[in-house]
Chain A
Amino acid sequence: MPETPAPASATADAPVPGGLIRGELERELEQTDNRTRWLLSLPAILIILFFAAAPLLVMVVYSFLTPGDYGNVKWIFSTEGWVNVILQRDIFDDTLIWADAHLSIFWRSVKLSIVTTLLTLIFGVPTAWFVATRPKGKREFWLFLVTVPFWTNLLVRTIAIQELIRAEGVINNLLMALHIVDQPIQMMFTDFAIGFGMTYVYLPLMVLPVYAAVDKLDFRLVEAAHDLYAGRWTAFRRVILPMIKPGIIAGSILVFIPCLGAYVTPRVLGGGKNLMFGNLIELQFGAGRNWPLGAALSFTLMAIVMVALIYYVRLTSREEKTDV
């Protein structure tokens, strides 16, 4: 059972001899302590309210208005923005049909997020394992290397990838020089390019939490498993995996969620031929001039992320219960 320390107030309330004075004092101390904590966290709370909650509120309001003629909104109530997220009038004959375009764009973003999460898992877990199993003094160096890409702007890195994979890029030139291929391979503006770029960009977000989990791993338990005749695979599956699972789940969430809204990488490397959900939202606020639909689409995305997060929280809390 996980230790659950009894709340301080409970002990204070216990009728111990002379406990009345001590209890009051404690309560008072606790109150001032509480007050200071609130005061200290007030700026943060205000910032969150004004800069996170307020804009969201504006967006909620906008999603229920009518699009203005040249962008912006008209103050006329309408639920059309929300309806249009999943249902739309056919372009040519006014029948109401599934918003097939929105759904398939959304599905594309989800697919991309799943693939990226899987790829970062495949590459990230061994990397994290490698770093965590280095001698104590050397780990910082490897971790430091993992964070190096964050020093450079995302767009610059994405354009650098273009230099690698383009027709006259590093990879193609090398392959041609080695006579492995005699025509440049089309890599730029393909699904491969998007997958490559996304994995590269999001890999550190997988490596870091998994590293933290592996770092805490008690290797004596693995030895114990071996002593009990578990093979390498069994030891991994039954001992290691359950223990680093929280790290893997945290990493997957960290990768999956931003991927859903990914925008720059798919556009620069994928050639922008197919919209991602993020691009679809942008289109509504730009050339599409349909802000309510854009707002409704953003909230749809947010709602889905929320559901994913709640699922995660429940998954991990169940984990703790079965941890006994």
Chain B
Amino acid sequence: MKRLFAAASVLAMTAAAAASAEELNLYNWGNYTSPELLEKFEKETGIKVIVTDFDSNDTALAKVKAGGHGFDLVVPSAAYVPIWIKEGLLEEARPDQMENFKNMDPAWVDVDWDPGRHYTVPWQWGTTGVVVNTKYYDGDIDTSAIFLDPPEELKGKINVVPEMGDVMGLAVMYYGGEPCTGDKEILKKVHAGLIEAKKSWLGMDYGNIEKFAKEDLWAGVNWNGSTFRMRLENPAIHYGYPKEGFVVWMDSVAMLKDATNPEAAKKFMNFIMEPENAALISQFARYANGIKGSEAFMPEDMKTAREINIPAELKDKGRFLPTCEPDVQKLYTRIWTDLQK
């Protein structure tokens, strides 16, 4: 899922890699890893963590599959974890036998993509919904109509993150289908709807926190935590949960089969299941984390934030995106290409 154009941020953290101490290589989404967390880990264990960024699940998968990457840990999204396992890229690190496993929220233990958590530890979870600057539009924001059938006020100022899975998922649900549906009737509506809606969009871009804050953009598809960070900079920005269905996702930390430092990797996995440490992750990227008791260590503003706490009446509208069948995936790619032609 998420954020920032990779190249810009890759520079920042990888460059500083000092070779002396014990090292752990974490391959994670850009602008997603709390520097404080890494500092604390280094202080407690003496292990230096080096972060390399990726900007999409597919990039990460392709790079690790190619080999010679030198990473120990990777943070794929839920739908991708089974692919990573199937491709034989992950080691069974058995987080479920680790000391801090008791802190994991039971709701996140028996997940479809890793039943019983033999491979992965939650990093953060969140939702994909819509963002609206309410200074320009004060109608209902809990709907995908914000970007699929936009109100007049917002036309020409909408940005849709170029994340095929999320956007297709939202659109399919808006037109009455289930994510990854192969139903041509629904896909026809999705295709026509997206193409018509696109005329009102300004961009399809990542890394928009400051563009929204500075009001280059007024509305669009976005992730909850990123929207939270926007709101902290510009209080007029709000996050909406489309009642037609929004996307729920979780990114989890997994250990690679060819990790060079498996012991350190396991230490890190255990480390982030400590509530205090999980809170640091959330405090930085502003997503929830799936560790019980971490709330106590979180900043006050996160406990009540609408971006983090899904309103009760909309809770059942959230859906996890499955991995689509290759045939369906092909169809979605075609629609996606057609949309951007």
**Which B residues touch A70, using CB under 8 A?**
61, 83, 86-87
Count of chain A residues with Cβ under 8 Å from any Cβ of B? 40
On whether the beta carbons of B216 and A100 are closer than 8 Å, the reply is no
**Cross-chain contact A267 with B335 (CB below 8 angstroms):** no
Q: Which segment, of B102-110, B122-130, B196-204, faces chain A?
A: B196-204
B331 contact set on A, CB distance < 8 A: 91
Residues in chain A near residue B198, CB distance under 8 A: 273
With known contacts A70-B61, A71-B58, A167-B215, A271–B205 Cβ distance under 8 A: yes
By a CB distance below 8 angstroms, the chain B residues around A92 are: 184, 187-188, 191
Chain B residues near A285: list those with CB within 8 A: 58, 62
Are B204's CB and A91's CB within 8 A? Answer: no
Q: Does B5 have its Cβ within 8 Å of any Cβ on chain A? A: yes
| Contact of B56 with A by CB under 8 A | yes
Task: Tell whether A127 is near chain B: CB-to-CB under 8 Å.
Answer: no
Q: For residue A168, which residues in chain B have a CB less than 8 angstroms away from its CB?
A: 214-216
Q: Which of A88, A155, A156 contacts B334 (CB 8 A)?
A: A88
Within 8 Å of chain A (Cβ to Cβ): is B30?
no
Q: Which of A72, A105, A167, A189 has a CB less than 8 Å from the CB of B65?
A: A72
Asked if A201 is at the interface (CB within 8 A of a chain B CB), the reply is: no
How far apart sit A72 and B229, CA to CA, in the bound complex (Å)?
Answer: 36
CB distance from B209 to the nearest CB of A (A): 14
Name the segment of A4-12, A203-211, A287-295 touching the other chain: A287-295
Question: Are B8's CB and A273's CB within 8 A?
Answer: no
A287 touches B187 (CB 8 A): no
Interface size on B, residues (CB 8 A): 43
Task: Say yes or no for A85: interface residue by CB 8 A criterion.
Answer: no
User: Does more than half of chain B's interface fall in helix, strand or loop, or is it mixed?
Assistant: helix
Say yes or no: B61 contacts A268, CB within 8 Å: no
List B residues 56-95 near A (Cβ within 8 Å). 56, 58-59, 61-62, 65, 83, 86-87
Q: Are B87 and A100 in contact (CB under 8 A)?
A: no
- Interface status of B311 (Cβ within 8 A of chain A): no
Asked if A272 meets B338 with Cβ closer than 8 Å, knowing A71-B62, A287-B58, A287-B333, the reply is: no
Contact in complex: B205, A286 (CB < 8 Å): no
**What distance in Å separates the Cβ of A195 from its nearest Cβ neighbour in chain B?**
16
**Contact, CB under 8 Å: B326 / A286:** no
Report yes or no: A271 in contact with B62, Cβ–Cβ below 8 A.
Answer: no
- Judged by a CB distance under 8 angstroms, whether A186 is at the interface is yes
| Cα–Cα, bound, A70→B58 (Å) | 9
Chain B nearest CB, measured from A93 CB (Å): 8
Partner of A71, one of B61, B187, B188, B337: B61
B340 interface residue (CB < 8 Å to A) = yes
In the complex, whether A104 has a CB less than 8 A from a CB of chain B is yes
- A285–B216 alpha-carbon span in the complex (Å): 31
Q: Mark A272-287, 1 if CB is under 8 A from B, else 0.
A: 1111000110010111
By the criterion CB–CB under 8 Å, are B216 and A166 in contact? yes
Of B36-44, B159-167, B237-245, B291-299, the one touching chain A: B159-167
Query: Which A residue sits closest to B211, measured CB to CB?
Result: A166
Q: Is B202 a contact partner of A189 (Cβ separation < 8 A)?
A: yes
Chain A neighbourhood of B202, CB < 8 A? 186, 189, 271, 273
Q: Assess whether A101 is interfacial by the CB under 8 Å rule.
A: yes
Name A271's closest neighbour in chain B (CB-CB). B203
Additional 9 contacts, C-beta under 8 A, given A101-B337, A267-B205: A71-B62, A105-B337, A156-B8, A167-B215, A167-B216, A168-B214, A264-B7, A273-B340, A288-B333
A-B contact pairs, 27 of them (CB 8 A): A70-B83, A70-B87, A72-B65, A91-B191, A91-B338, A101-B334, A101-B341, A104-B341, A166-B214, A166-B216, A167-B215, A186-B156, A186-B202, A189-B203, A268-B5, A268-B205, A271-B204, A273-B198, A273-B340, A279-B340, A280-B337, A283-B333, A283-B337, A285-B62, A287-B56, A287-B165, A288-B336
B contact residues vs A (CB 8 Å cutoff):
5, 7-8, 56, 58-59, 61-62, 65, 83, 86-87, 156, 159, 162, 164-165, 184, 187-188, 191, 198, 201-205, 211, 214-216, 326, 329-331, 333-338, 340-341
